[in-house]
Structure 1
């Protein structure tokens, strides 16, 4: 089944393809997006199923492991052969997702399936029942590591080829970032019939859970994200070290996993090793907490003066949206959606990518202007409430689904 003409008000059965179902508890931006969209779409009367490689959440919210015979059919029995073919072709197989789609469709046919652009799988899922809508969560041409081993580079090159082939044939494409949408279309030289910017949704916090200057430590700065090169952890640490020379009372709290900073030889430098390159003063003033629960991170946001995001690539990060949703100001690198979510000087500060000196200046500017900090937080909250409202985003998305299937 697919979205059909002449049924403008019929509730849809919508499939959302994701790395994991929300009940898994996995911290991932696409999983967060899927959870919020699921809730907003169901509140509007639509049925929503969430599909992953080996399990799914049905339209009633019940989780399912894909049936054993489906797993065999999708490749467990022939896994070795598929892996051998993948190694030769450098292409990652969409087979498990196709098998999940087959099983969900057998329960209740999908009208539309929204999926990320990764691996060029949209092309493989076309013609299998539902209308396909592709969403740019992180096209590999911009999201890949700058430093890759020969093996990683070969796989990346194939992935980019597959993404381009898929984008050349799809009918509908959305992106939370207007800048990323334009850059992607220009790079691949494609023009889908429908290509629109729709932001990632997030509900704002109730008044009792909002950030306020009075409850925050003016010297505590927060960085939420992986300790790696793509997330710009090295830039944030260097900016903090610079700012610390002028404001020795500052403290940086870092939260997230530690895959390490990529090195030219393919190695990784983890936090414990990287911090040894810093001044003794900086080492003493950085608290690296590793992975923390969503509840712990929410409390850290309330206790921190502002959040710092130094990523070399971001599309439309939930780490920033979550700060906006509680009315907390942020300093962000000017990577695609960051510079659209934050209005420089009004809801936070935007600095050039990789510029630790500019970021340090921003840290000092916000630290020394508490009045401006409070005003930025309030404006960020109001912007989030209006622009990222889940009900509004869901309605805009469903309207696009219907056009895509017309």
Structure 2
């Protein structure tokens, strides 16, 4: 899709460490640059900032993650100056805290504003509902799944005309099984302490170490499997604690108490997730709260691996039970142990067939190209409406 002449996009994202919203920020920035525009990202930065720069995007360091009202007011002033100085064409917010100053700045400078609802935000008080509703105050709301779209409409009474579903996309060039050479897999296996002769079924739980991701649930499921004399698996928790050292320590204690040190491992942050998915035989997503989309359920399918996921939220749209993976009851350790056992008992041929079905479906529905094309169409729609 062609962009208006001299198009400059400003995305406002709390940080660029890791996560679905952050990856989508980079994907859209790269697409805008390739289409001949400029892509600015106001953020406090993080480990993904180098990738933004490599793709031609520009990081504008700013404490937009802050929720302090005084800092937010200062951010609004900074954004007003930035929008005017860089002749920003459109402002796209990707989280609530930065959305407030971004909305103020867009209104004062007369620039169109839209936001992407990347998560399901709880609102137990009118004040919190007002705080969350900033994501709906622009010209358009982008929902990352139909599940998210339904939530936004029910929570905020939004006119269906003002919301569009654009699922997150996966970079099919980066996540391409044919590009993963054996030496990459071997190097990753060695760094995770897996020997070349380890024939156990390898199960990957990708995601940061936080209670809602369900690591403790999986430790208990693994304990039940071990109690039934099953030792033909190794479960790998790939993700860092992002400062949640107390929870990480709790998970380690649970692993040790269950005698699972050889079967369940915390391997930390992984920079080569395509190789991680190919190293493992299947992925799991045992979230305790609904994922609005769940990129971690789509990426392994793109890499040809079946998935076991909690049966709620956006993953019920991306995982086809019995065809590309399995859906398991939320928070039920016994049911999760049974689901893992079912996957372990499936023959390599059956798992390969499910992985192939998942790859075929996911590459058709969830490519980064489809996501960025739809996002730029949303930009064009907002800009044209403003011009009229």
TM-score, normalization: structure 1? 0.76
Tell me whether 1:274 sits opposite 2:292 in the alignment.
no
Contact 1:117/1:163, CA 8 A, preserved across alignment:
no
Q: Secondary structure at the match of 1:382?
A: helix
Contact 1:194/1:404, CA 8 A, preserved across alignment:
no
Contact 1:333/1:353, CA 8 A, preserved across alignment:
yes
Partner deviation per Cα, 1:169-208 (whole Å, 9 max, x = no partner): 3331111111122123212333364101101111223342
Residue 14 of structure 1: aligned partner: 9
Residue 61 of structure 1: aligned partner: 57
Residue 303 of structure 1: aligned partner: 279
Q: Secondary structure at the match of 1:400?
A: helix
Unmatched runs of 5 consecutive residues or more in structure 1: 1-6, 75-81, 143-152, 263-267
Tell me whether 1:388 sits opposite 2:369 in the alignment.
no
1:135 Cα shift? Answer: 0.5
Residue 191 of structure 1: aligned partner: 159
Residue 357 of structure 1: aligned partner: 334
Select 1:247's aligned residue among 220, 230, 252: 230
Q: Secondary structure at the match of 2:293?
A: coil
1:60 Cα shift? Answer: 5.0
Residue 163 of structure 1: aligned partner: 132
Distance of aligned partners of 1:285 and 1:60 in 2 relative to their CA distance in 1, 3 Å threshold: closer
Q: Secondary structure at the match of 1:284?
A: coil
Q: Secondary structure at the match of 1:378?
A: helix
Contact 1:52/1:97, CA 8 A, preserved across alignment:
no
Q: Secondary structure at the match of 2:231?
A: coil
Contact 1:173/1:194, CA 8 A, preserved across alignment:
yes
Alpha-carbon distance in structure 1 between the residues aligned to 2:222 and 2:79: 47
Alpha-carbon distance in structure 2 between the residues aligned to 1:134 and 1:171: 9
Alpha-carbon distance in structure 2 between the residues aligned to 1:193 and 1:92: 35
Residue 39 of structure 1: aligned partner: 30
1:260 Cα shift? Answer: 6.0
Tell me whether 1:285 sits opposite 2:255 in the alignment.
no
Alpha-carbon distance in structure 2 between the residues aligned to 1:54 and 1:325: 28
Alpha-carbon distance in structure 2 between the residues aligned to 1:228 and 1:206: 28
Select 1:402's aligned residue among 363, 374, 380: 380
Partner deviation per Cα, 1:16-38 (whole Å, 9 max, x = no partner): 211235xxxx2232221111222
Tell me whether 1:130 sits opposite 2:111 in the alignment.
yes
TM-score, normalization: structure 2? 0.79
Select 1:182's aligned residue among 142, 147, 150: 150
Contact 2:304/2:356, CA 8 A, preserved across alignment:
yes
Alpha-carbon distance in structure 2 between the residues aligned to 1:64 and 1:199: 26
Partner deviation per Cα, 1:314-370 (whole Å, 9 max, x = no partner): 222332333123222211112322111111111111222212222222212222112
1:218 Cα shift? Answer: 5.2
1:168 Cα shift? Answer: 5.5
Distance of aligned partners of 1:54 and 1:371 in 2 relative to their CA distance in 1, 3 Å threshold: closer
Q: Secondary structure at the match of 1:141?
A: coil
Residue 49 of structure 1: aligned partner: 40
Alpha-carbon distance in structure 2 between the residues aligned to 1:225 and 1:42: 29
Superposition RMSD on alpha carbons, in Å? 3.4
More displaced 10-residue stretch of structure 1: 96-105 or 221-230: 96-105
Alpha-carbon distance in structure 1 between the residues aligned to 2:113 and 2:149: 18
Partner deviation per Cα, 1:126-169 (whole Å, 9 max, x = no partner): 41332111111124218xxxxxxxxxx9xx974443113x2563
Residue 190 of structure 2: aligned partner: none
Q: Secondary structure at the match of 2:381?
A: helix
Q: Mapping of 1:312-391 within 5 angstroms?
A: 312-313=288-289, 314-369=291-346, 370-391=348-369
Q: Secondary structure at the match of 2:340?
A: helix
1:51 Cα shift? Answer: 1.5
Distance of aligned partners of 1:10 and 1:217 in 2 relative to their CA distance in 1, 3 Å threshold: farther
Greater relative contact order (Cα 8 A, min sep 6): structure 1 or 2? 1
Partner deviation per Cα, 1:282-341 (whole Å, 9 max, x = no partner): 34321222x23312x443322211111111232223323331232222111123221111
Unmatched runs of 5 consecutive residues or more in structure 2: 183-195
Corresponding pairs, count: 353
Distance of aligned partners of 1:160 and 1:271 in 2 relative to their CA distance in 1, 3 Å threshold: same
Contact 2:180/2:274, CA 8 A, preserved across alignment:
no
Contact 1:211/1:328, CA 8 A, preserved across alignment:
no
Alpha-carbon distance in structure 2 between the residues aligned to 1:249 and 1:351: 21
Residue 232 of structure 1: aligned partner: 214
